Amino acid sequence: MSILEKMVSLPYENWFGHGDVKDDVMKVMKKYGEPLEVLVEDGGFTACVIYADRVVVTGYDGSEYQVYFKFKRTTTKEGN
């Protein structure tokens, strides 16, 4: 079962519009493939999609903006 199939819908809405963190994660997965892990912050607005070479943060800031950040991983768990 894929990570996306395990996720529940996490809708958000404000006066700018609306979306769903699960849909945001799906967009990231379409671009980069199946991640190692997905972490969702306690409020359910933002997700970290973790790959071997990068981390993508996507979702909603809880106030008014949709967020999308990409980080390159410079080290791995093994320290490489």
4 or 27, which is more confident? 27
Instruction: State pTM to two decimals.
Output: 0.81
65 or 52, which is more confident? 52
How many other CB atoms are found less than 10 A from the CB of residue 7? 16
Instruction: Say whether pLDDT at 1 is over 70.
Output: no
DSSP the chain: --HHHHPPP-EEEETTEEEEHHHHHHHHHHHH-S-SEEEE-TTSSEEEEE-SSEEEEEEE-SSS-EEEEEEE-S--TT--
Contact 30, 45 (CB under 8 A): no
